């Protein structure tokens, strides 16, 4: 009996080993596991099968909080390897992964789904290959921890262009300020907002949606951010737009550097007729001016006394009302719309989560459509679509959000409408 079992084991063992040898193979290459926020690490996955793959593998997306995953140009390429005297065919795929902030990160439970031809000539075989846990760290250098915002690149330039005349305007005139920042070794999504919010009195700014551009040269990313703001003189202006400075970390020299553009002088004349009117009887204004000044002083003293007494109460009431407003759905909705108009995906997704909690449950169809819009926007970051094609998901997202809010308010209004307490029937 023992000999019989031994014979069976010896016969089955080669078959089992052969079956294991013909299973698909997955190789993971992830050598560098530490990066400065905004700098990409390279992850390469290679899949090999004993025959061929009728369809491409179903690769993982590696989506996780506070990291960015992108596919460089020519991310996938065919490969082959000699294994046990036979040629195995496969595909290699290259990912670029960057931490957004400092900290520890881990990608778990990732799977590559592979479909390949049966070596015995049967139907195609589907196999799922599990990836090991992929861990890496985002680290900010010691000498760059006081940078706010934190920007790290191989090289960085900042340019300014003024379109129009800013020093010879009249009321109603306008000019544009264009700020362009270009960073080698950094994606455009990591470049900060540049345009200052401070403007001189009498001038109003109208910022346009920033233009983000990325180019790839042999795996090296260059990001560009262009901010254009139109400034309109609403009256007399005598001041300047502040200079723009940006301190950044050079990853090659490991030093802090600074770029800047100068301030812009702004001069505008007041509109005709805006000055005081001069009467013909100017010689009789002395006594009237004294009485007017005395009245102003007395009124100012009375007003100051009332303000000194009621100011703390008014401040407390104002702070309470402000806190109540910022905790409400209306404020969350405004923040969400602002993020959508600026096309800031991270801020928009965060504002959407807050707004949804304050609004309450929305229609399932609207929720699924909004989620699909976010997925599409996340994918479009790394696509080669035109600017018009990339704007379509943003437009669809804005429309769906308004529909969901309107439907929710309509349901709340219908619930608050009560039927008459004493219905009567007419005969």
Residues 6+ apart with CB under 8 A from 91: 46, 47, 53, 56, 57, 76, 77, 78, 79
Tell me which fold the domain 143-269 belongs to.
Immunoglobulin-like (2.60.40)
Count of CA atoms in the C-beta half-sphere (13 A) of 314: 6
- Confidence check: pLDDT of 10 > 50: no
* Rounded Cα–Cα distance for residues 97 and 384 (Å): 19
Residue predicted with more confidence, 292 or 100: 100
What is the predicted pLDDT for the residue at 6?
Answer: 46
The token duo for 85 is 């005297």
Digit-coded pLDDT (tens) for 131-144: 999 999 999 999 99
* Rounded Cα–Cα distance for residues 42 and 351 (Å): 31
The CATH class that applies to domain 21-139 reads: mainly beta
Question: Taking the model in full, what pTM does it have?
Answer: 0.56
Residue predicted with more confidence, 83 or 303: 83
**Which of these ranges, 152-156, 174-178, 321-325, 397-401, has the smallest mean pLDDT?**
321-325
* Rounded Cα–Cα distance for residues 136 and 33 (Å): 4
Question: What is the bridge-based pairing of β-strands 103-107 and 211-217?
Answer: unpaired
Mean pLDDT for all residues in the chain: 82
Same topology, domains 21-139 and 143-269? Answer is: yes
* Rounded Cα–Cα distance for residues 51 and 121 (Å): 10
DSSP state of 417: -
Digit-coded pLDDT (tens) for 203-238: 999 999 999 999 888 778 899 999 999 999 888 899
* Rounded Cα–Cα distance for residues 210 and 180 (Å): 10
Residue from 208, 213, 206 nearest 183 by CA: 213
Domain ranges of the chain: 21-139, 143-269, 329-412
């Amino acid at each position: 009996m023992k000999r019989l079992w031994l014979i069976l084991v010896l016969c089955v063992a080669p078959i089992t080993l052969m079956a294991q040898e013909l299973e698909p193979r997955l190789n993971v290459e992830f050598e560098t596991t530490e990066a400065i926020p905004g700098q990409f690490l390279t992850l390469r996955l290679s899949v090999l099968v004993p025959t061929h793959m009728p369809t491409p593998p179903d690769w993982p997306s590696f989506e996780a909080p506070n990291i960015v995953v992108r596919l460089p140009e020519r991310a996938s390429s065919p490969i082959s390897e000699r294994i046990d005297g036979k040629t195995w065919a496969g595909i290699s795929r290259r990912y670029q992964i960057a931490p957004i902030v400092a900290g520890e990160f881990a990608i778990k439970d990732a799977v590559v789904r592979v479909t390949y031809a049966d070596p015995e000539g049967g139907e195609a075989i589907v196999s799922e290959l599990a990836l090991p846990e992929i861990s890496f760290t985002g680290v900010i250098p010691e000498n760059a921890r006081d940078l706010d915002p934190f920007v790290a690149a191989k090289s960085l330039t900042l340019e300014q262009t003024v379109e129009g005349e800013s020093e010879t305007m009249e009321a109603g005139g306008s000019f544009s300020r264009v700020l362009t920042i270009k960073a080698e070794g950094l994606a455009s999504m990591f470049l900060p907002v540049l345009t200052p919010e401070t403007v001189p009195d009498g001038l109003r700014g109208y910022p346009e949606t920033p233009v983000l551009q990325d180019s790839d040269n042999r795996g090296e990313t260059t990001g560009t951010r262009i901010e254009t703001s139109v400034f309109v003189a609403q009256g007399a202006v005598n001041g300047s737009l502040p200079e723009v400075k940006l301190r950044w970390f050079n990853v090659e020299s490991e030093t802090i550097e600074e770029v800047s553009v100068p301030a812009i002088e702004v001069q505008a004349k007041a509109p005709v007729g805006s000055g005081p009117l001069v009467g013909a009887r100017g010689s009789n204004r002395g006594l009237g001016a004294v009485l007017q000044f005395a009245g102003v002083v007395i009124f100012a003293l009375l007003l100051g006394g009332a303000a000194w007494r009621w100011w703390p109460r008014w401040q407390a009431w104002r702070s309470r009302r402000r806190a109540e407003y910022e905790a409400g759905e209306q404020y969350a909705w405004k923040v969400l719309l602002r993020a959508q108009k600026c096309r800031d995906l991270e801020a928009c997704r965060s504002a959407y989560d807050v707004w949804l909690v304050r609004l309450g449950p929305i229609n399932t169809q609207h929720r699924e459509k909004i989620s699909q819009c976010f997925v599409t926007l996340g994918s479009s970051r790394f696509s080669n679509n035109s600017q018009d094609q990339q704007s379509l998901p943003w437009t669809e997202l804005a429309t769906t959000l308004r529909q969901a809010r309107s439907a929710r308010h309509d349901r709340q209004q219908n619930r608050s409408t009560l039927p008459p307490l004493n219905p009567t029937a007419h005969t």
